[in-house]
Amino acid sequence: MMLKKLLQITIINQISGFILSMIIVLISSTFYRYNINIAISLIFTNSVGYIYFVIDSLFKRYLRETIEIKIFKRLSKLLLIFLSLFLGIELSLFLSRLLLPIQMFSVSEAVQNFLMITNIILIFIVVFLGFIYKKLKTDIENEMKENERLEKLNLKSELAALQSKINPHFLFNTLNTILDLVYDHPEKVEEMILNLSTIYRKILYSSENEYYTLEQEIDLVKKYLDIEKVRLGNRME
């Protein structure tokens, strides 16, 4: 897979180099220096292409899996492109001066100024994208922490509301009574469990805006009193 991509990058680099050299020749009308234009263009496209290939491969291997948010991945890709352009320009200038004779590689002052301005702009773009990336990452992390905090508060409030509905003293006392009935009056256990389940089904699954008929309310109170009568015995009289 890596070799296939490297081969694709190599082919793209060469085609881009020849196209770039043709554009330079047509714009500058320097047909007599076509071989030099091809050499410089190929050095440039190969420098940018291979630098991008290396940086992108390292990014995918070590960093991409740690970036989950889509916008961060796009910003990272954009940052890699501009960084590759900056490093590619610097490397291509160095290699051109190193590989080509001085008389063949003569860059005009205007071109030098253009390349210098281009590099400065690329540096600012890279720094700006890095700042935006850092800012967005910090904001999203803070938002995630705040959402987590609110979720915990919501769970706590729901738990507190649930506890207030359950009335644990009534529940535990009723369960203890049922345990005693298992040994003393097993025939009453089923009725106690059904009454208890009916009461808590109404309590736990009813909303504050839900209304019951008077008959349903009376039935619920009756079941509650039946449980208390079994639990308290003669004390209910």
| Locus of tokens 């991509």 | 5
Residues 123-137: tens digit of each pLDDT: 777 777 777 777 777
The share of the chain scoring above pLDDT 90, in percent, equals 0
Q: Which pairs with CB-CB distance under 8 Å and at least 24 residues apart come from 102-105?
A: 104/36, 105/36, 105/40
Tell me the average pLDDT across 51-79. 69
**What is the Rg, in whole angstroms, of the alpha carbon atoms belonging to the chain?**
39
pLDDT band per the 50, 70, 90 thresholds, residue 119: low
Judge whether residue 46 has pLDDT over 70. Answer: yes
221 versus 69: which is more confidently predicted? 221
Tell me the average pLDDT across 163-175. 70
Tell me the average pLDDT across 143-151. 84
Cα–Cα distances in angstroms (integers) from residue 93 to residues 1, 163, 226, 228, in the given order: 31, 73, 94, 93
* CA–CA dist 110, 95 (Å, integer): 20
101 versus 15: which is more confidently predicted? 15
Q: Which pairs with CB-CB distance under 8 Å and at least 24 residues apart come from 39-43?
A: 39/96, 39/99, 39/100, 40/92, 40/96, 40/100, 40/105, 41/17, 42/13, 42/14, 42/17, 42/18, 43/17, 43/92, 43/95, 43/96, 43/99
The helix (H) or strand (E) run that includes residue 58 is helix 34-62
- In this predicted structure, what is the pLDDT of residue 189? 81
- In this predicted structure, what is the pLDDT of residue 110? 47
Judge whether residue 108 has pLDDT over 50. Answer: no
Q: Do 25 and 31 contact (CB within 8 A), yes or no?
A: yes
Judge whether residue 175 has pLDDT over 70. Answer: yes
Predicted structure pTM score: 0.41
In this structure, the dihedral spanned by the alpha carbons of residues 40, 41, 46 and 51, taken in order and rounded to 10 degrees, is 90
154 versus 72: which is more confidently predicted? 154
Q: Which two tokens stand for residue 113?
A: 């100024």
Give the best-scoring range by mean pLDDT among 98-102, 104-108, 116-120, 143-147: 143-147
Q: Do 58 and 30 contact (CB within 8 A), yes or no?
A: no
Q: Do 203 and 166 contact (CB within 8 A), yes or no?
A: yes
Which of these, 177, 173, 170, 203, lies nearest to 192 by C-alpha position? 177
122: left (phi over 0), alpha (psi -120 to 50) or beta: alpha
| Mean per-residue pLDDT over the chain, rounded | 71
Judge whether residue 237 has pLDDT over 60. Answer: no
